[in-house]
Homo-oligomer: A and B are copies of this chain.
Amino acid sequence: MGAISIVFEPEGRQVTVSPGTTILQATSEAGVRIRSECGGRGVCGKCRVIIEDQRGLNELTENETALLTHEELRSGYRLACRSTISRYSGKLTVVIPKESMIGERKFQATGVERPVQLAPSIVKYFISLPRPTLNDVRPDLERVLELLKNKYGLEFLDVDYEVLKALPYILREANWDVTVVIWKEREIISIEAGNTTEDALGLAIDLGTSKIVTHLVDLLTGETVAIASVENPQTVYGEDIISRIAFTRNSNEKLMLLQRSAVKGINETIDEVCTETGRSPEDIYEAVVAGNTAMHHLFLGIRPEYLALSPFTPAISRSVSVKADELNIDMNPRGIVNVLPVIAGFVGADAVADLLASGIHDMEGTSLLVDIGTNTEVFVSSDKETLCCSCASGPAFEGAHITQGMKAVTGAIEKVSIEEGSYEVDYDTIGDEKPIGLCGSGIVDVVAEMLRCGIMAPSGRFNLDIKTPRLRKIDDDMKFIVAWADETGIGRDIAISERDINEIQLAKAAVFTGCSILMKRKNMDKDDLDRVLIAGAFGTHIDTESAKLMGLIPDVQSEKIKFIGNAAVAGAKMALISKGVREEARLVSERVRYLELTVDPDFSKEFTNSLYLPHRHMERFPNVKRALERETDK
């Protein structure tokens, strides 16, 4: 009976909902962005809210008592996804604590591009047609096609049906002077009045699980003219891919909800780049999209559930081209949306873009490329033969599954050093705000620094011989305090526990096992590597010394390590402006050999060995070994 009014603080947004609505659903209706990594299943514990007067709500659920501390429960903490409005209760005030907010993200919106020859799939031709007479009654289309054939040697062109429908009118309206837009020398996708050859735009889109980055590219110059990015709006249905796939299970309707959601995010970026540059979406004729295989399926509306079930087969690996209006992308409606090919269920178009952007598949010498994310793709390339695998590194590097982990948004601790002997901590936060949690690069630093200072043993256990107030038992769990409560923005200590270290060990072991097994299959060891490339938003911000120290990547000389940034958007852009690169994408996706790690005979053993920091066989990390010995000697 009756609607309930909710105010979300500190933003002060209001919304009116009916009984039965969860607070998480209400946030979505109110347009309040709140973390929800499990997609509302009550298991990630990230959608914390504070509700003082809980009289209108359901009783505390088991998930809440398990995931929230006694003190938090006393302070009115609830999980938004488990709190249901049960009856009319006047006005409800819900406070979103900082740690539950999705903040401004530190994000890599560009990547290193290889220079390519400008040859986009879209070409515009301005033509002046002879007018029909009783002695030349050729049909409109044949008139156009014959001229294109005679003047430009273009043959066997298809014509978009919508273009055909409007053709007689446009030709006469334009007094027979028109611009023909041709895709891949294959299809006429637009015929426009007058000379519009100067307006030819394209989009390169990195459709990430968390973030969408769009470059508006001038196809005449190949230059990016504007960049926009948004959080992927699918996030409200689950922060990670597996949650989103689970959300869509057995429901085409929910699948289409996610599909439209990705489109909405892309359209927001298009609106932004067009507004910024004053260009018209009608002049955008092609978009090239790179995303992991799950995003690829969700974006195209292909049922993704089998990606999450062994043996994890995708529906398709080749590139897919769809008319923009079939997907409701805000660009020329008969323009083309091209989704780059994928390699395997967990090696997507973003990985293909890694190769395009880095070019390692075609380079002299031996290369290792690691694109770190929730799934980490690893490539080893030599003699123009590339092996790849996917590592289930999990979201720990994105801050998930870590008690006080968070994404790389404002307030996250991103850089940490620990002073030897005193064990005092120095840290930097994103935006120089008071710290509210640890993001991936901060976590890597903490773990590496604790190892270096001997606070933690290679097994991942704390060294209880170390005497420092920062190492203490809290809630039956040993923790190392990174920031004291009074320094933080949340009024509580920010610490890392053995359980957190364990999560990091699992994640880093997954990545290193991938590197290790691929190198083994190519009969090489770390000294054969001419270069190690690190891609991905997270990768760009980690400290390479910390990464080597903890054994995330092989122990190579620092000068061999290179960050290539957002390779997904860089690769998509290269494919957008160069037909050659597009063809290369096809070849790469077909030729790269995918290795299913979990069926490799060496997998279990290597994984177990890699759980050690940096590794059970320390001799494989000689520089780290030496450094640690030096510390011990001191």
Query: How long is the Cα–Cα vector from A140 to B313 in the complex, in angstroms?
Result: 7
Any chain B CB within 8 A of the CB of A633? no
Q: Are B599 and A135 in contact (CB under 8 A)?
A: yes
Q: Are B312 and A137 in contact (CB under 8 A)?
A: yes
Query: How long is the Cα–Cα vector from A140 to B140 in the complex, in angstroms?
Result: 42
Selected contact of A139 from candidates B164, B168, B317, CB within 8 Å: B317
Query: How long is the Cα–Cα vector from A167 to B166 in the complex, in angstroms?
Result: 34
Q: Are A139 and B313 in contact (CB under 8 A)?
A: yes
How distant is A629 from chain B, measured CB to nearest CB, in Å?
Answer: 41
Q: Are A313 and B137 in contact (CB under 8 A)?
A: yes
Q: How many copies does the complex hold?
A: 2
Q: Are B316 and A140 in contact (CB under 8 A)?
A: yes
Q: Are A134 and B599 in contact (CB under 8 A)?
A: yes
Q: Are A303 and B139 in contact (CB under 8 A)?
A: no
Query: How long is the Cα–Cα vector from A134 to B310 in the complex, in angstroms?
Result: 7
Residues of chain B contacted by A159 (CB below 8 angstroms): 316
Any chain B CB within 8 A of the CB of A147? no
Q: Are A141 and B310 in contact (CB under 8 A)?
A: no
Which residue from chain B places its CB closest to the CB of A321 in the assembled complex? B161
Residues of chain B contacted by A134 (CB below 8 angstroms): 310-311, 596, 598-599
CB-defined interface of A154-170 with B at 8 Å, one 1/0 digit per residue? 00000101001111110
Selected contact of A344 from candidates B137, B141, B596, CB within 8 Å: B137
Any chain B CB within 8 A of the CB of A138? yes
Which residue from chain B places its CB closest to the CB of A590 in the assembled complex? B142
Query: How long is the Cα–Cα vector from A599 to B133 in the complex, in angstroms?
Result: 10
Any chain B CB within 8 A of the CB of A305? yes
Q: Are B311 and A132 in contact (CB under 8 A)?
A: yes
Q: Are A596 and B317 in contact (CB under 8 A)?
A: no
Any chain B CB within 8 A of the CB of A320? yes
Query: How long is the Cα–Cα vector from A345 to B143 in the complex, in angstroms?
Result: 14
Selected contact of A168 from candidates B302, B322, B326, CB within 8 Å: B302
Which residue from chain B places its CB closest to the CB of A140 in the assembled complex? B315
Residues of chain B contacted by A598 (CB below 8 angstroms): 134
How distant is A440 from chain B, measured CB to nearest CB, in Å?
Answer: 29
Which residue from chain B places its CB closest to the CB of A300 in the assembled complex? B165
How distant is A483 from chain B, measured CB to nearest CB, in Å?
Answer: 44
Q: Are A172 and B315 in contact (CB under 8 A)?
A: no
Selected contact of A596 from candidates B135, B143, B320, B342, CB within 8 Å: B135
Q: Are B139 and A322 in contact (CB under 8 A)?
A: no
Q: Are B596 and A169 in contact (CB under 8 A)?
A: no
Any chain B CB within 8 A of the CB of A88? no
User: Given contacts A134-B599, A594-B137, A596-B135, is CB(A164)–CB(B320) below 8 Å?
Assistant: yes
Interface residues of A in 266-310 (CB under 8 A from B): 300-306, 310
Interface residues of A in 156-210 (CB under 8 A from B): 159, 161, 164-169, 172
User: Given contacts A139-B316, A141-B315, A317-B141, is CB(A164)–CB(B133) below 8 Å?
Assistant: no
Query: How long is the Cα–Cα vector from A257 to B429 in the complex, in angstroms?
Result: 63
How distant is A300 from chain B, measured CB to nearest CB, in Å?
Answer: 7
Which residue from chain B places its CB closest to the CB of A302 in the assembled complex? B165
Residues of chain B contacted by A141 (CB below 8 angstroms): 315-318
Any chain B CB within 8 A of the CB of A399? no
Residues of chain B contacted by A314 (CB below 8 angstroms): 139-140
Q: Are B311 and A133 in contact (CB under 8 A)?
A: yes
Which residue from chain B places its CB closest to the CB of A142 in the assembled complex? B317
Residues of chain B contacted by A132 (CB below 8 angstroms): 311, 313
Q: Are A300 and B164 in contact (CB under 8 A)?
A: yes
Q: Are B172 and A306 in contact (CB under 8 A)?
A: yes
Query: How long is the Cα–Cα vector from A128 to B406 in the complex, in angstroms?
Result: 48
CB-defined interface of A315-336 with B at 8 Å, one 1/0 digit per residue? 1111010100010000000000
Which residue from chain B places its CB closest to the CB of A323 in the assembled complex? B161
Q: Are B137 and A303 in contact (CB under 8 A)?
A: no
Q: Are B311 and A165 in contact (CB under 8 A)?
A: no
Residues of chain B contacted by A167 (CB below 8 angstroms): 302, 315-316
Q: Are B168 and A315 in contact (CB under 8 A)?
A: yes
CB-defined interface of A124-137 with B at 8 Å, one 1/0 digit per residue? 00000000111111
Which residue from chain B places its CB closest to the CB of A342 in the assembled complex? B139
How distant is A506 from chain B, measured CB to nearest CB, in Å?
Answer: 21
Which residue from chain B places its CB closest to the CB of A250 in the assembled complex? B169
9 nearest A-B residue pairs (beta carbon): A141-B316, A139-B317, A139-B314, A132-B313, A134-B311, A168-B315, A134-B599, A140-B315, A168-B303
Give residues in A with beta carbon < 8 Å to B. 132-143, 159, 161, 164-169, 172, 300-306, 310-318, 320, 322, 326, 342, 344-345, 594, 596, 598-599
List, sorted by A's number, 28 A–B pairs whose CB atoms are closer than 8 Å. Answer: A132-B311, A132-B313, A134-B311, A134-B596, A135-B599, A136-B311, A137-B345, A137-B594, A137-B596, A138-B313, A139-B314, A139-B317, A139-B342, A141-B315, A142-B316, A142-B317, A142-B318, A159-B316, A164-B315, A164-B320, A165-B302, A165-B303, A166-B303, A167-B302, A167-B316, A168-B305, A168-B306, A168-B315
